[in-house]
Amino acid sequence: MLKTLTEAKEYAVKKVHELSEDIVDEIEKSMIEDLLEENFFEKISDLVDEKTIEEKKLVSQEELEWYLFHKIPNYTTVLEETTAERLSNYLSKE
């Protein structure tokens, strides 16, 4: 079970490496992580907007993830679904 966006990013990069059997370089890793994060924030944008996050003055990634975990109903489900969708889309385009 994925609990944080950081875990989801690490998992996605690992799975791309395992399933494609290619080495994931830094550019590709960054692309996978950025697309996953972008898709995740698109999904939760109805529940939490950037202005709200900025107003909370969350300094670190951990603080942001903690806030989102408690703010969003079914946070882990949304995170896991987004990760699975992103992996599917990414790997099907190879």
Q: What pTM, to 2 d.p., does this model score?
A: 0.84
Is the separation of the CB atoms in 36 and 84 below 8 Å?
A: no
Where in the sequence is the domain holding 47, given as residue range(s)?
Answer: 5-92
Is the pLDDT at 94 greater than 60? The verdict is: no
Q: How far is CA 27 from CA 36, 52, 80, in A?
A: 14, 31, 23
Per-residue confidence (pLDDT) for residue 80, from 0 to 100: 96
- Could you give the number of structural domains in the chain? 1
Give Cα 4 to chain centroid, integer Å: 8
pLDDT digits 0-9 by tens, 79-88 = 999 999 999 9
Give Cα 86 to chain centroid, integer Å: 9
Is the separation of the CB atoms in 2 and 11 below 8 Å?
A: yes
pLDDT digits 0-9 by tens, 16-74 = 988 887 788 999 999 999 999 999 999 998 888 778 778 888 778 888 888 888 888 89
d(CA 72, CA 90) in angstroms, rounded, equals 26
